[in-house]
A and B are shown apart, each in its own frame.
Chain A
Amino acid sequence: MLKIENLHASIDGKPILQGLSLTIAPGEIHAIMGPNGSGKSTLSYVLAGREGYEVTEGSVTFDGQDLLAMEPEERSIAGIFLAFQAPVELPGVGNANFLRTAINAVRRGRGEAEVDAMQFLKLARARMKVLNMADEMLKRNVNVGFSGGEKKRNEMLQMALLAPRMALLDETDSGLDIDALKLVADTVNSLRGPTFSALVITHYQRLLTHIVPDHVHVLAGGRIVRSGGAELALELEATGYASAAA
């Protein structure tokens, strides 16, 4: 499904990713762990199509398509979803309007029927209930005045509503208390299935006790230096990145 081969990427001429290769099959959940500065966030941004990153070598395909040639919105329609580490605030943009615009843009792109205001509310409210979000969060501006936990819940709401096939969770666990962490994990686990894959990027092992990955990779110096099963995360927790990467 997602195939990354020998990916090199740099920012402002500074190389960050230096030969990263990774293949994620449908239904699999992979975790990438690594110290700060190892290139974790760069990987998620390059996959989602953020400007400012230059891919100097290698390729990324998604269902055989050249992902790097696609606009960010095209990637979203194709099924990529990036859960942001620090979701931006959008003063003046109502959350309900934003969510419905996004859902319908994605549906239109996928050749599905758009939802009207009533259908949207029904969909959103059902998912918000599971996420323990108050209805009034639809009326507020996107992420404006949201606590860290509320922002992440809002991200999970978007993820659930946009029905991605490949979720990229960029340190979604950072700064979360245990309840919010569980809600993130529950959302990912609820989407888990033969057509849903995820790449969980994290610094800590604790999220991975709630989202049990099929594969764990250690990222260091812009490439994957070690891969293993879920037990690798526990080992890293015990011994640290330095010895694991050695």
Chain B
Amino acid sequence: MTALTTGAAAFLARAEGAAPRLPGADLPWLAQLRAEAALAFRGQGFPNRRVEAWKYTDLAAAMQAAFGEPLSRSESLPALPPALHPRAVFVDGHFRPDLSSLAGLAFPVAGLAASLPSLADRLGAVASPIGHPLVALNAMLFEDGLVIDLPAGLAGGVIELLSVATEAERAPTFHPRHLLRLGAGATLTLIERAIGPATRYLHNPVFEIEVAEGARLNHGRLQAEGRDALFLSSVSARVAAGGTYDNFSLIAGARLSRNEIHVALVGAGAAAHMNGAQLIGNGQHADTTTTLDHAAPGCPSRQTYKSVLAGRSRGVFQGKILVRQVAQKTDGYQMNQALLLSEEAEIDAKPQLEIYADDVKCSHGATVGALDPEQLFFLRARGIPKAVAESMLVEAFLTEAVDAIEDEAIREAFAGVVPGWWQGAR
């Protein structure tokens, strides 16, 4: 066991102190789950760069500064963006039915805190704390979350999950645990949006997602946290035969963000589409880390990630594809590309293929570049102002990833983010 950093020790102490007050404290299975998470956390703490999975993002350093206790209930609430679909609202990690608009849904949507007694078999079924410090941290401290259950065959339409952080002086932390389960043949589009003020806070959401046979989840994420926030997120999805998990993540906010997506394709013909873009500027660090576990034959997976980095910023992409021996006829593709808009911007990319089956098709690629001066001059020679020309080329760079969004509602929700980001980044 390595010595814990003071940052990690502080969280561990807090978890111990808070245990009796956390929701579900009277449930033995949950106490067990939290204890196991604490044990895992004690073993690994917040990894530094000597740990391979954290080579480019020093979590130990990022978590050294002190955080305050979570807020029980916020007094002041910022104006919420308009809801385009049925919406579940979380404020500082707490589900707020009073702010949500979920009436008329044909399937159950509930807060996790209120549902705990019925979740013994589900909580922790997909996301393990072992080797996953973000999951361990979440498991020790979660207080709430969203629980969605789609019955087999149901077309669930679109639902939004809005997370709002409120302004607070003492750097609060919140650790929601969201559970989604889609029955056989069910479909759902989830549009997740995280926003917050410019003050310092930690948002540590963990998603556990189960997609049954032939079901499909379209999961759009817009991380637009405040500029001083830490966003440490882990999504774990398990996809059964013929099912599809489709994720598009647009990472634009937070001082430091880690966007982990772990997908296991466990039934024949299950599919994963994981695409996204990181748009960051001066002082920001964004890390997208994916693992794709091909554990069944004949599964296609597609990943296209793009990073646009302005100012003194740092982007990280780590993508691991594991093809188990049983996963013959796997068709895997992974591409990550970075556009550096300043000399001070930096990208680290680490693709990783681990293949144990012999009849597979797997490819990956990575590129890094700057705006092409020839293209820029061509546009300007046609009367287009420099700033507009640059914006056109940035959007063009992102096209491939954005075009991969199949869901119209997600596409609409994210339209305008790129031009808006560009205005702010300049």
Contact = CB atoms under 8 A, between A and B. Distances in A.
A92 B399 CA distance: 6
Interface stretch (A13-21, A99-107, A130-138, A181-189): A99-107
Given A51-B377, A90-B375, A73 B399 contact: no
B368 to A, nearest CB: 16
A92 B396 contact: yes
Contacts of A48: 381
Interface stretch (A81-89, A114-122, A220-228, A231-239): A81-89
Contacts of A50: 377, 381
Interface in A92-151: 92-93, 97-98, 101-102, 105-106, 109
Contacts of B395: 92-93
Interface in B345-395: 372-375, 377-386, 388-389, 392-393, 395
B377 A72 contact: yes
A105 B396 contact: no
A49 interface: yes
Contacts of B393: 90, 93
A68 to B, nearest CB: 15
Interface residues of A, number: 28
A91 B374 CA distance: 13
User: Which of A81, A90, A158 lies at the interface centre, i.e. has the most chain B CB atoms within 10 A of its CB?
Assistant: A90
A70 B374 CA distance: 18
Contacts of B383: 73, 76-77, 102, 105-106, 109, 162
Contacts of B392: 93, 97-98, 101
User: Which of A48, A93, A97, A109 lies at the interface centre, i.e. has the most chain B CB atoms within 10 A of its CB?
Assistant: A93
User: Which of A71, A105, A106, A158 lies at the interface centre, i.e. has the most chain B CB atoms within 10 A of its CB?
Assistant: A105
B379 to A, nearest CB: 8
B414 interface: no
14 contacts: A49-B377, A50-B377, A72-B380, A73-B381, A73-B386, A82-B381, A88-B378, A90-B375, A90-B393, A93-B392, A93-B396, A98-B392, A101-B392, A105-B382
Interface of A: 48-51, 71-73, 75-77, 81-82, 84, 87-88, 90-93, 97-98, 101-102, 105-106, 109, 158, 162
